[in-house]
Structure 1
Amino acid sequence: MEAVTIVLVLLLVVVMSSWIARALPWAIPRPLIQIALGGLVGLAANLRVELNPEVFFLLFLPPLLFLDGWRIPKEEMLRDAGTILELALGLVIFTVVGVGFFINWLVPAMPLPVAFALAAVLSPTDPIAVTSIAARVPIPKRLMHILEGESLLNDASGLVCLRFAVAAAMTGTFSLYDATLSFFWVALGGIGVGLAVTLAVTRAKVWLALRIGEEAGTQIIIGLLIPFGSYLLAEHLHCSGILAAVSAGVTMSVADARRPTLASTRVQQNTVWDTIQFSANGIIFVLLGEQLPGILDGAADTVRVTGHHEPWWLLVYIALITLALAMLRLLWVWVSLTFTLFRASLRGENMTRPHWRLVVATSLAGVRGAITLAGILTLPLALADGTPFPARDLAILLAMGVIILSLVAASAGLPLLLKGLEMPADVSHAEEEDRARVASAKAAIVAVERVQHEMSEGRPDADIIVAAAARIMEFYRSRIDHRSGEHDAETGALARQSEAAERTMLVAALKAERSAILALRRAKGINGETARQLMHEIDLLEVRYSN
């Protein structure tokens, strides 16, 4: 009963955070509001959530990472694959080594293996927090895709480094050869498991749907089970469950493109996944805030481990570690960019160096979040001989402090840093959209002509069918005329403005239709079933024309 109450309270707080974020006049990211509300819950309510790291990983990370892998633009990710891998692999190792030695120097009471473990969980960036901040900050799309791709892949490299740092702390030994082999097995095995599980499930699902039909509820539940199945199997094989979930999401998007589900299933599926994403993202940060009061209660004892007596020293450590993470990230990004420009000049390409503020923004956008929280909680309670794990509480407190400070710094710094900055032009997909719309319109006309011929053959009311087909084909011919590319750029721009105006008026008309149907329902002029059917049709059309 208590567990159910906790879940309901957490969901209520997530809903309240959304209301507050929308009502506030300031652009405060929702994660910060959720952390603050979680802290109030931890102080005011008699709730103490015991976070089991394994359960935390299993419940929250697979579906969220699966969804990110499913929805991230694949072409953009492949285009910048080199940059993403540099950040996801090279920067993680660079951060673990650099920040690990820095933490050991800053806090001598923390042994070097524990310092490396803390640096390892601080190295991955968080896709959830980055996306939340980007919703209110004008980050260029290409940079956003790079940040999202990095955050999807650097989790595995950071957690592998954590595994070996903890092993070194427990045993006092470290093997670079074993660590390298383990990394490749963890990474490649996780990717392979996600790919294999998704392909097997989707092919079985298609085979069954062709023989017994497709049901939306069944399809959605299968989609929900895929990330959990991939994660559990990968972890059972000692691979990266995180990369398995990401790989499963990417594979699912490819499978959907080859054999899409029914339209009604896709509409319901998107709604379910949006709800899961909203709820799980919120609960993660609410839980972070809820844990803070309990951790701060022991701050006085924790600070004594460092050799000091004043708790404000912990704030100094958090600030310096956050600064070190940002500076190492900035150095890596600058060196990587310089090397990329140098290689381009050798190939004879003329690349423009991005504005320095955009480079600094790339460093500042390296926000820590759920992976860091879950990873630091996996530190063992005791060593092999039964003695307490050294500086465990201190590492947890520092990690949580860095999460919050990195969120605050990005939330406050990115808008100021990017204000008034002329952004690089994003690649326009207007021509691709035009080609796709023309091709789909031509295919639609062919299909209408075929169906018209089949329906009107030998029927006395053939003229009605011909007239209906003519109206539909006129709509598609109008689209072809506007999108065929036979007009100049000015005419094409005018056509787009016309279509935008049409969409605005259509949405207004649909809202008026909905109001009229609701009025009829209230006046008992139509029954509930008819009202629901008409409302569903209007909702689908409004979603279509509002996007």
Structure 2
Amino acid sequence: METVFLVLTLISVASATGIAARFLPSLPVPLVQIAFGALLALPSIIAPEWGLGLHVDLEPDIFILLFIAPLLFADARRFPQRELMALRGPILALALGLVLVTVVTIGYLIHWIIPGIPLPIAMALAAVLSPTDAVAVSAISGRLPVPPRLMRVLEGESLMNDASGLVAFKFAMLAATTGAFSFSQATLSFIVIAIGGLLLGGALAFAFSFIRTRLIDRRSGEESATQIVLLQLLLPFATFLLAEHMHLSGILAAVASGLVINRTDLKRESQVRVRLKTRSMWEIIEYVLNSLVFLLLGFQLPHIFTKAMETTVDDSNPFSILLVISYVLIITAALLGLRFLWIIMAAKSSGLVAHLRGNMVQKISLRLIGVSTIAGIRGTITLAAALSFPIWMTKTQQLPYRDLLIFIATGVILCTLLIASIGMPVLLRDLEIPSDERMRQEERQARQMAAKAAIQCIEQVRQQRMDELNRIAGDSNDPHVNDRLLAFTDVSTQLLSDYQERIAVEDDRASTSRHELMQDIERKLRIEALHAERREIYRLRSRHRINDELLHRLVSEIDLAETALMTGIPLPSSHA
């Protein structure tokens, strides 16, 4: 019952923090959730005999499996692949190059300021601190004008650097426990682990899509929509577990499977119910998992801080806790400074390459470089990796300063969150993002081509249907055939007129603003009309004029229509 109570409490608090954050718009949701988690766990530290407060023993491997793998899969599943390929240079520079430089540079810094920590352990801590958390960045920048290109780079970096940081941590701990390290062997192992994880994840996702196409879709179609969605939910867990069992990167396997599912789903344009259910399911799961991740981080804070205060760096130093805090501040400053320099070097290098190729050089403002720097927030993967520091290095030797290592990692997480929460709104204030004319042009062309395809289809169907009705009318004296022929002609003509008008509006840019105004007015009126329909349906049910089954069916139809209007889907007709 304790486990059930804990799970229900976590989900309830996750919902409550989301509502509370709406009344505190200046505070990012992750900080609110961390604070709630810490408050809930505090009584178990202050007065454990009261039996109050919540405490969760976080198992790093289980945490990564249950939270990180599905979240990365979901991020990869919706990541635009064209942008991923176009931005692969800056993404790999941050996800691989910066991680390697961070492990070496920050590792030596940690060993220098805390000589009691062996160099391999210091590099392991630096590896723990290297991954960034795009979830926290998205939560903080949700209401801020972040350039889309920059956000794509940050999200792509977070997809990849979790794996590179964890692999670097693994090799650093191996060197610490065995005393042996070979750079060439480590490099080869990293390549095998990374590429093997990507290939395995992609292969499993392709196998899932193949089985779904050949066995499920062809036999049951959209009748199996619920089962397909559930199987897709299990895919990141199965991929992660199999990859880890084969000593490959489970995180990269989950990312690869998400990217492949994104690509294979493009070929299933007719499966409306599957898409709707999949989108709804992942929206709920992502919200719950993201909330639980930061709540669990808050649960760990009182225990981590208490252990750090009990275990001092130097028992003869009465200000040891201040010294530990200074370590956190120094390491945080070094991480951000190194990231700042790396981004400047990468920007100059890409500019030089573009100049040599004869391409136009796009200069990045210092303000955006600053945003990119403080957006390097450390988050849940850092905490999970830090908690996986073993207590014993060998059978007879304990890991030195384990509690201090966990405290430093947690302190860096909080510092980067606070710096980003304060700094990003300041740096992004009044930032004007130039309109993406290329995207607008693509949207116009896509709408026009879709409308032309619809016109062609309607004309073909109309011709076939009218030929069929004319043939029936010639063979029989049924008076209803002419009525059906006239009705079909009127409806098809109206639909063709609607689509042709949509094409004309896209062509005529001068009338677009007026058309958009008319569309907005019509959309609002349609929504008000749907609200009136829904109220009347519920009134009829309350007076027992209809039963529950009919109520649910009619309300579902109205809900779908309202959802289409609220998501900005173009209206079927215009009165411009």
Q: TM-score with structure 1 length normalisation?
A: 0.95
* Alpha-carbon spacing, 1:243–1:466, altered in 2? closer, same or farther (3 Å): farther
In the TM superposition, what is the alpha-carbon distance from 1:380 to its structure 2 partner?
1.3
- Quote the Cα distance in structure 2 between the aligned partners of 1:121 and 1:476: 60
- Quote the Cα distance in structure 2 between the aligned partners of 1:228 and 1:147: 24
- Quote the Cα distance in structure 2 between the aligned partners of 1:218 and 1:305: 58
In the TM superposition, what is the alpha-carbon distance from 1:212 to its structure 2 partner?
3.6
- Quote the Cα distance in structure 2 between the aligned partners of 1:508 and 1:477: 26
Letter in 2 for 1:28: L
Number of residue pairs aligned between Structure 1 and Structure 2: 546
- Given that 1:219 and 1:265 are in contact with CA atoms closer than 8 Å, whether structure 2 keeps it comes out as yes
CA offsets 1:53-78 (integer angstroms, 9 cap, x no match) = 11111111121111000011111121
Aligned to 1:300: 309
| 1:405 aligned to which of 415, 423, 426 | 415
In the TM superposition, what is the alpha-carbon distance from 1:269 to its structure 2 partner?
1.6
In the TM superposition, what is the alpha-carbon distance from 1:260 to its structure 2 partner?
4.1
- 1:393-472 equivalences under 5 Å are 393-452=403-462, 453-454=464-465, 457=469, 458=472, 460-464=480-484, 466-468=486-488, 470-471=490-491
In the TM superposition, what is the alpha-carbon distance from 1:197 to its structure 2 partner?
0.2
Aligned to 2:396: 386
* Alpha-carbon spacing, 1:345–1:519, altered in 2? closer, same or farther (3 Å): same
- Given that 2:458 and 2:496 are in contact with CA atoms closer than 8 Å, whether structure 1 keeps it comes out as no
- 1:189-338 equivalences under 5 Å are 189-208=196-215, 209-214=217-222, 215-260=224-269, 262-304=271-313, 308-310=317-319, 311-338=321-348
Letter in 2 for 1:210: R
CA offsets 1:179-214 (integer angstroms, 9 cap, x no match) = 101110111011101100010011101112202444
- Given that 1:138 and 1:418 are in contact with CA atoms closer than 8 Å, whether structure 2 keeps it comes out as yes
After superposing the two structures, state which structure 1 stretch, 502-511 or 131-140, moved more. Answer: 502-511
- Given that 1:434 and 1:483 are in contact with CA atoms closer than 8 Å, whether structure 2 keeps it comes out as no
Letter in 1 for 2:370: V
Aligned to 1:42: 41
After superposing the two structures, state which structure 1 stretch, 523-532 or 496-505, moved more. Answer: 496-505
| 2:148 aligned to which of 141, 147, 159 | 141
In the TM superposition, what is the alpha-carbon distance from 1:468 to its structure 2 partner?
4.7
CA offsets 1:1-22 (integer angstroms, 9 cap, x no match) = 2211111111111011101101
Structure 1 vs Structure 2 CA RMSD: 2.0
- Quote the Cα distance in structure 2 between the aligned partners of 1:95 and 1:295: 24
- Given that 2:120 and 2:175 are in contact with CA atoms closer than 8 Å, whether structure 1 keeps it comes out as yes
Letter in 1 for 2:14: V
List 4+ stretches of structure 1 deviating above 6 A: none
- Given that 2:160 and 2:252 are in contact with CA atoms closer than 8 Å, whether structure 1 keeps it comes out as yes
In the TM superposition, what is the alpha-carbon distance from 1:261 to its structure 2 partner?
6.0
Residue 544 (structure 2) pairs with residue 535 (structure 1): no
In the TM superposition, what is the alpha-carbon distance from 1:306 to its structure 2 partner?
8.6
Letter in 1 for 2:228: Q
In the TM superposition, what is the alpha-carbon distance from 1:445 to its structure 2 partner?
3.3
* Alpha-carbon spacing, 1:476–1:299, altered in 2? closer, same or farther (3 Å): farther
Letter in 1 for 2:11: L
Aligned to 2:23: 23
- Quote the Cα distance in structure 2 between the aligned partners of 1:370 and 1:469: 61
CA offsets 1:86-145 (integer angstroms, 9 cap, x no match) = 111101111111111111112222221111111101111112111111212211111001
- Given that 1:442 and 1:476 are in contact with CA atoms closer than 8 Å, whether structure 2 keeps it comes out as no
* Alpha-carbon spacing, 1:325–1:465, altered in 2? closer, same or farther (3 Å): farther
- Given that 1:482 and 1:495 are in contact with CA atoms closer than 8 Å, whether structure 2 keeps it comes out as no
Secondary structure class of the residue paired with 1:387: coil
- Quote the Cα distance in structure 2 between the aligned partners of 1:20 and 1:472: 51
After superposing the two structures, state which structure 1 stretch, 518-527 or 204-213, moved more. Answer: 518-527
- Given that 2:145 and 2:428 are in contact with CA atoms closer than 8 Å, whether structure 1 keeps it comes out as yes
- Quote the Cα distance in structure 2 between the aligned partners of 1:504 and 1:74: 34
Letter in 1 for 2:250: G
- Quote the Cα distance in structure 1 between the aligned partners of 2:310 and 2:304: 10
In the TM superposition, what is the alpha-carbon distance from 1:472 to its structure 2 partner?
5.1
Residue 525 (structure 2) pairs with residue 505 (structure 1): yes
Secondary structure class of the residue paired with 1:20: helix
Q: Look at both structures and tell me which one has the larger radius of gyration over its CA atoms.
A: 2
- Quote the Cα distance in structure 2 between the aligned partners of 1:472 and 1:34: 54
- Quote the Cα distance in structure 1 between the aligned partners of 2:290 and 2:178: 36
- Quote the Cα distance in structure 1 between the aligned partners of 2:455 and 2:246: 52
- Quote the Cα distance in structure 2 between the aligned partners of 1:77 and 1:483: 31
* Alpha-carbon spacing, 1:153–1:472, altered in 2? closer, same or farther (3 Å): farther
- Given that 1:193 and 1:234 are in contact with CA atoms closer than 8 Å, whether structure 2 keeps it comes out as yes
- Given that 1:303 and 1:309 are in contact with CA atoms closer than 8 Å, whether structure 2 keeps it comes out as no
- Quote the Cα distance in structure 2 between the aligned partners of 1:429 and 1:400: 40
What percentage of aligned pairs have identical amino acids? 41
Uncovered stretches (5+) of structure 2, i.e. residues with no partner? 44-51, 474-479, 568-576
- Quote the Cα distance in structure 2 between the aligned partners of 1:303 and 1:466: 89
In the TM superposition, what is the alpha-carbon distance from 1:469 to its structure 2 partner?
5.7
In the TM superposition, what is the alpha-carbon distance from 1:408 to its structure 2 partner?
1.1
* Alpha-carbon spacing, 1:473–1:408, altered in 2? closer, same or farther (3 Å): farther
In the TM superposition, what is the alpha-carbon distance from 1:482 to its structure 2 partner?
3.1
